[in-house]
Amino acid sequence: MSKLRIEQPHDDATFKDWQDVHNEIIPTHILSLDDVRERAGRNHLEVAYEGDVLVGCTTVRPPGEDTSTATVIARVLPAHRGRGFGEELYARGLDRARTLGAEVIETVVLASNEDGLRFAQKHGFVEFDRYLLPGDTIHWIDLRLA
């Protein structure tokens, strides 16, 4: 039995929970609630709770018409890491990406998120690009599942 309750954001409270996780882990790219709602229209978002406690969120960017590549991002708040939640979120995201037709799986990690980078590498992801977005001072790292 899963330790987590996982659902798609569907109202202001769950969109805000997804936003809170994202903004804590990605402080260089703060999203508004409208930004999150817009992302939910083009990506598969989920939010995860242990009981009523918010622990993480996921994003699956589906393959587009021109590509068989999907992006799977699992985020777990620092206080809840090391308990298997990332494993469960990542497995769900990977399953969703494959159901959507992905043949190639990528992820993206902010370089300052050392836990996230270690998690990705432990799960077979290999760095293929590192870049700064305009105005950023911390690199983004694109990784592909080998």
Per-residue pLDDT reduced to its tens digit, 15-44: 999 999 999 999 988 999 999 999 999 999
Using one digit for the tens of pLDDT, what is the confidence trace for 115-131?
A: 999 999 999 999 999 99
Q: Tell me the CATH number for domain 5-145.
A: 3.40.630.30
**pLDDT for the residue numbered 2:** 56
Q: What is the pTM of this model?
A: 0.93
Beta strand residue intervals within the chain, DSSP E: 5-7, 44-50, 53-61, 69-76, 104-110, 125-131, 140-145
